[in-house]
Every structure is written in structure tokens, then in C-alpha cells.
Amino acid sequence: MTNKYDTLRAIRWDNDQLYLLDQRKLPHDYEEIELNTATDVAWAIKEMVVRGAPAIGITAAYGVVLAARRAYSENPNTWKVFIETELNALMHSRPTAVNLSWALRRMRSVFNHIEGDPEPLLLQEAHNIHQEDIDANYAMGAAGAALLPINCSVLTHCNTGSLATGGYGTALGVIRSGYADGRVVQVFADETRPWFQGARLTAWELMQDKIPVTLLPDSAAATLMRQKKVQWVIVGADRITANGDVANKIGTYSVAVLARQHGVKFMVVAPSSTVDIQLTHGDDIPIEERPAIEVLTAVGQQVAPDHATVWNPSFDVTPAELIDVIVTERGVVEQPNMEKMLSLMGGHAPAAVSA
């Protein structure tokens, strides 16, 4: 399945090596980095060479392939023991995105079926994870776009497109599908401080595919909604708990509150691998805090006084009651709650919750 508004890929396996588009260099430089070890992959995830929950999971899966290659070449009879150090580094590279641990568990599930060189089977599983994400994004794109009215203007926060996934995107996948069938006519993108993912990545990505986008300061969203210039907010997610609470890029919660105040619909788009039914609600989600330098500077220039105190959470949690719909490749959940989310996932309530 293809779409003429789908032209980018940030993760590439070629000639037995992993290549990542260095998203820190965008939009000015398009530069790929070749990664040869799982340690390199963990570094790339931590340093945000690659970011976005689905993309992190896919990248980690390829990292397992590189780890197995190294472990098997050095210790062919005990590679499953020697691989653990690098797998641990991958697991702890970013704590909030549940896709990371999900992908590593799935790769581990292949271990018991391996005899001899582990790379072929693990590489096939990594390819499967990558392609399944793209397929899921197309399915979510169609399902989410079907909820939008004709001639709809939407606001999005952070980056959720091909740069944040295996390809096509989650929230941007819905926007791409909506634009292709005439439902979406205008996209507004928050700049997304302090890393400017909206400015550097979302605006750039949409411009590459010739989808109309207007960039705005995060603080302008309220006025945009008050002037009735947007009908839907569409965002992604890094983790969704059993009750439908959503962790996403910092600032998402603010946008959700504003949307409810102004009668704007709020959609979350994420693959089912982002749903963590082991966590009861959003308060259980570990929230990554990043270095103060990201707030003290902008584009390499200091913008704050020396020694200023900084709080820099990378994510916030939007309560389920502020969300109109969650779209996954398994289906659409309107007014999400625990019963609906568990039904979607075919799971059971966490131990701390009475079923």
C-alpha cells in the first residue's frame, strides 16, 4: 500500500547495516548515520538521533540484531549470555516509550527458536516489526481520517510522521490520509519546545509531501481555537495505560485542556504496541526528565541567565476524560475508559485494579 503523500523513511537496513536519518540535523541537513553495534543504537536513541515511540521500538529491534551478531562472533556457544549487557543498554536508553520494551520482548521471544547463527531469524523479526508498523499506520490513517469532516483544519503537537515511525506516521498518517481524500485542508503545527520537533520535523515533513502546514508557537494554540480555526487536534502517544490515559510529548496535556474548553475534538493515534495494560493509569507512567541545557539554550544559543534552575520533563499525561477518540490498528475507541481499552487489547485489568 502506498500514498503519494508518503515519501520519507528515517530507518533503513541496507547492506547488513542500520542507517538512521539524524533528526538532530533537520531541517538544514539531511544526513544518515551508520550504526554497527547495539551500543551505538542505544546512544542514538538516548541522544535523539531517532525519536518517536514506534521508531524507537523498530530501531531497538535492529539493535538486537547487531548485538547478536557481535555476541555470536565472539562467543558462538554462549552468545545469549554475552548479549545481555547490550540489551540492557537498549532497554534503558529512553524510559517512557513503551514500544522500546515491547520490541525487545518480541525480539527475545525468537531466542528459543534459534540454532546456530542468530542473525538471520532476528533480522527477519526486526523486518517484520518494521513492516507491521508501516501497515498499522496505513490502517490507522484510514480509520482516523474517516472520523473527520470534509474541509477540516487540524492542529498537531510534536512529530508523529514518517520520522517518528517505520513510515507514514500515526497522527500524521491520519492527516496524510485525510488530505489525500479531501477531508483535511489545513494543518497547524505547534513548534514543540524545547526540541522544536514541530518546527524542525513536522513542518519540514509536511512540506516535503506538499501538505499545507502553518507553524505556530505552542502558546498560540488557545487563540487559534478561540478563533475557531481548527476543528480537531490529532496527536500521537508514547504510552497509553489501561484506563486510556496517554503520555505524549510535553505540552500535549495543555492542548487537550484547551481543546475541551473550546469544543475542539481530540484524537490520539498510536499502534496497539503503545498500550500498556499493566499500568492502571497515567500516574504510573515513568516520565523522563532531560538535561537543563535543552531549555537554557535554543539552536545552540543561550537564552536564559547563567545558573537558572530548570525543570525539563519530556512528556506529560493527558487524562482519558479529555480524549474523544483513540485510534489504533485494532480499532477505534471513543470516550476511552478501562473497560473499552481492555476490550480492545483482549486483556485483563492490572492486579491493582478490581476486575
Q: In whole angstroms, what is the distance from residue 217 CA to residue 231 CA? A: 18
157 and 270 inside one domain? yes
Reported as a pLDDT band with limits 50, 70 and 90, residue 209 is: very high
Q: Rg of the chain's alpha carbons, rounded to an integer?
A: 20
Contact 157, 192 (CB under 8 A): yes
**Any domain includes 327:** yes
- Whether 354 has a pLDDT exceeding 60, the answer reads no
Q: Any idea what the CATH number is for the domain that residue 124 is in?
A: 1.20.120.420
The 10 Å Cβ neighbour count of residue 288 is 16
- DSSP β-bridge partners for residue 275: 240
- Catalytic residue numbers read 238
Tell me: do 125 and 155 sit in the same domain. no
Under the banding of pLDDT at 50, 70 and 90, the label for residue 299 is: confident
Report residue 183's pLDDT band, with 50, 70 and 90 as the boundaries: very high
What's the total number of domains in the chain?
Answer: 2
Q: Is 109 exposed, middle or buried (0-12, 13-18, 19+ CB in 10 A)?
A: exposed
C-alpha angle 163/266/221, rounded to 5°? 80
Are 97 and 161 part of one and the same domain?
A: no
Residues 114 and 228 grouped into a single domain: no
DSSP-assigned letters across all residues of 233-293? EEE--SEEETTS-EEEETTHHHHHHHHHHHT-EEEEE--GGGEETTS-SGGGS---B--TH
Residue 309 pairs with which residues in a beta bridge? Answer: none
Average pLDDT, the chain: 93
Mean pLDDT of 171-180: 97
Q: What are phi and psi of 195, to 5 degrees?
A: -95, -5
Q: What is the CATH number of the domain that holds 169?
A: 3.40.50.10470
> Considering 101, 118, 135, which residue would you say is the last residue of a domain?
135
Q: What is the pLDDT of residues 234-289, one digit of tens each?
A: 999 999 999 999 999 999 999 999 999 999 999 999 999 899 999 999 999 999 99
Asked if residue 283 belongs to a domain, the reply is yes
User: Which residue range forms the structural domain that includes residue 27?
Assistant: 11-135
Q: pLDDT tens digits, residue range 28-81? A: 999 999 999 999 999 999 999 998 889 999 999 999 999 999 999 999 999 999
158 and 120, same structural domain?
no
Residues contacting residue 309 through CB under 8 Å, at least 6 positions apart: none
Residue bearing cell 481555537: 225
Determine phi and psi for 186, rounding to 5 degrees: -155, 135
Query: In the chain, what percentage of residues exceed pLDDT 70?
Result: 97
pLDDT attached to residue 1:
53
Specify the 3-state DSSP secondary structure of 46. Answer: helix
Domain co-membership, 51 together with 103: yes
